[in-house]
Amino acid sequence: MNAKAIVVTSGKGGVGKTTATANIGAALAKLGEKVCVIDTDVGLRNLDVVMGLEGRVVFDLIDVFEGRCKLRQAVIRDKRVDSLYLLAASQTKDKSSLSEHRMKETVRQLLEEEGFDRVVIDSPAGIETGFQTAAAAATGALVVVNPEVSSVRDADRIIGLLESREIGEVRLIVNRLRPAMVRRGDMLEVDDVLEILGVKLIGIVPEDEQILISTNVGNPASLNSSSNKTSASQAFRNIARRIKGEEVAYLVFDERRGFMAGLRKLFGGF
């Protein structure tokens, strides 16, 4: 993706936006990029927790927007990866100082003055001010969707809004895929989702209990080099590499338990 400012969004809540932001941001930083992840979920604020940095937040996005601190003071450096930084959301419920103009200016400063290669912006659920602010500065988008009808419907709505903002590069992440359920016909297949939404795929992330475990300890799974080739952490690392333009084969889920026919059909060419 050419986009240096990428918003992670979905419409529907709880589908994995924050998880994806933390894991992809961390993986991009591991690949050598200087990355800032920004939490725009004002009021809820949990990207800092997922990244294990909550104890270090002094200033946040709203402090920057309201001029209470310099941008540089609010950007927290990760303890594990040198080139990974976080700009946290505020816990205040007051969203009145969220502003598209301030967001654009903040992202511009990060990219042009602070030397960041990439900014990954975690959007709140819904299509209100928080989402609008998150999308304001973005030139690319990762739409996270779960393979279920309500999530696909909301993603469709969000994709329309992203297109009306002329965000050029919109890519889809299908998260929490459960191969066994797809095989039984109890879950949408990836190619069904792609057909409905009509945007390019950039990753398929399986349901993986490691995500819950790593979230609880505040250590993004993509930072652990898991030997499991079909893990969510591997899937997130692959997404980071695809963002950087590499062609990476899609994960194929365990053959002995039966291939996901849809996946094979779809990615046989890789």
Ligand X SMILES: Nc1ncnc2c1ncn2[C@@H]1O[C@H](COP(=O)(O)OP(=O)(O)OP(=O)(O)O)[C@@H](O)[C@H]1O
Binding site for ligand X (CB under 6 A): 10, 13-19, 41, 124-125, 175-176, 205, 207-208, 211-212, 215, 232
Q: Which CB, 73 or 216, lies closer to ligand X?
A: 216
Q: Which CB, 93 or 184, lies closer to Mg ion?
A: 93
For position 10 contacting Mg ion by CB under 5 A, the verdict is no
Q: Which part of the chain contacts Mg ion (CB under 5 A), choosing from 12-20, 145-153, 168-176, 197-205? A: 12-20
Q: Which CB, 18 or 132, lies closer to Mg ion?
A: 18
Say which entry of Mg ion, ligand X, none residue 14 contacts (CB below 5 to 8 A, set by partner kind): ligand X
Say which entry of ligand X, Mg ion, none residue 9 contacts (CB below 5 to 8 A, set by partner kind): none
| Least separation in angstroms between CB 159 and ligand X | 16
Say which entry of Mg ion, ligand X, none residue 78 contacts (CB below 5 to 8 A, set by partner kind): none
Q: Which CB, 51 or 260, lies closer to Mg ion?
A: 51
For position 18 contacting Mg ion by CB under 5 A, the verdict is yes
SS (H, E, C) the chain: CCCCEEEEECCCCCCCHHHHHHHHHHHHHHCCCCEEEEECCCCCCCHHHHCCCHHHCCCCHHHHHCCCCCHHHHEEECCCCCCEEEECCCCCCCCCCCCHHHHHHHHHHHHHCCCCCEEEEECCCCCCHHHHHHHHCCCEEEEEECCCHHHHHHHHHHHHHHHHCCCCEEEEEEEEECHHHHHCCCCCCHHHHHHHHCCEEEEEEECCHHHHHHHHHCCCHHHCCCCCCCCHHHHHHHHHHHHCCCCCCCCCCCCCCCCCHHHHHHHCCC
Which positions touch Mg ion (CB under 5 A)? 17-18
